[in-house]
Amino acid sequence: MASEGISRRTLLSGTVAAGVVTAVGVGAGSALAAPAGFYHPFTGYPITGTWQDHLNSGSLGGIDFGMGVGTNLPACGGGVVTNIPYNGTGGHTVTIQHDNGYRTQYMHLSQFLLGNGTRVAMGAVVGLSGGAVGAPGSGSSTGPHLHWHMINPSGTRINPLDFMGGGGGGGLPKTTTEQDGVPGPIMWKRAQNWLRIEQGYTGPIDGVPGVNTYAALQRGVRGYGYTGPIDGVMGPNSWAGVQRLASHWGYTGPIDGVMGPNSWRGFARFLNQDKYN
């Protein structure tokens, strides 16, 4: 039966739709651990309003990302969720209180997914984007987008992209697996971010692959000759798909379903593309 940890999470997530409970539950122990940091969940979307654009229009600041209504909004870092419905011009707003005292706010949502007080891991989906003109949670938004800002411990609104460094670059470091052929947490975080962007993975970006990560990985290698089940159980056929992917990124060894250092190097070279930062 469920451990105490699972029971507690289920309790906290009591108002959540079934699919989302699964997403939050991924990573079990690590989901409740203190967050290691932050990442930029929206590198795949165009910036349609800069920080300066916001200041120029009298806002306290924020970054707008163009995305269709209903897009998954992953937490940029772990923390505790509070929903603020009809938050003035911001419309439906999710606040994530991070353990280091910083807060994140996502605005103009079309839908809340988690109950107040839910603890989430980095990468867990906390709501769905909105912003369509006149929709109930849109506030003053004039078109579908996400507005994102952060608030520092002294209450000042700050630009999340500056806070994370890189001035708008991504949040995940490159993995050294490309050099040493040894898979580790950074490689798996990048894999989870790839799968989030392209394969519908909604679990945490925690570098700890579980069944949901592996199921998404199996989906990801269907284009590389894998025809087996999407069951999250990696067998030789699943790994052979990963090797075929790696063969497009410099791997020249056998496609035998046995991952060695050279297989991991090719896979890591694929994952180290900037778009998966």
Which residue's C-beta sits nearest to Zn ion?
147
Choose between 31 and 107: whose C-beta lies nearer to Zn ion: 107
Give the shortest CB-5-to-Zn ion separation in angstroms: 37
By CB under 5 A, tell whether 137 contacts Zn ion: no
By CB under 5 A, tell whether 206 contacts Zn ion: no
Q: Are 98 and 35 in contact (CB under 8 A)?
A: yes
Give the shortest CB-254-to-Zn ion separation in angstroms: 51
Order of strands across the sheet that contains 72-74: 72-74, 125-128, 111-112
Q: Are 249 and 194 in contact (CB under 8 A)?
A: no
Choose between 43 and 138: whose C-beta lies nearer to Zn ion: 138
Listed ranges 147-155, 159-167, 249-257, 267-275: which one lies at the site for Zn ion (CB under 5 A): 147-155
Name every residue whose Cβ is closer than 8 Å to that of residue 112 and which is 6 or more positions away in sequence: 83, 85, 92, 94, 127
| Residue for token pair 């991924």 | 26
SS3 132: coil
By CB under 5 A, tell whether 62 contacts Zn ion: yes
A 10 A CB-CB count for 129 gives 27
Give the shortest CB-165-to-Zn ion separation in angstroms: 22
Choose between 33 and 60: whose C-beta lies nearer to Zn ion: 60
Q: Which amino acid is at 109?
A: L
Which one of 119, 147, 174, 269 is in contact with Zn ion (CB under 5 A)? 147
Q: How far apart are CA 125 and CA 146, in angstroms?
A: 14
Name every residue whose Cβ is closer than 8 Å to that of residue 266 and which is 6 or more positions away in sequence: 243, 245, 246, 247, 248, 249, 250, 251
By CB under 5 A, tell whether 105 contacts Zn ion: no
Give the shortest CB-81-to-Zn ion separation in angstroms: 20
By CB under 5 A, tell whether 131 contacts Zn ion: no
By CB under 5 A, tell whether 65 contacts Zn ion: no
Q: Which residues bind Zn ion (CB under 5 A)?
A: 62, 64, 147
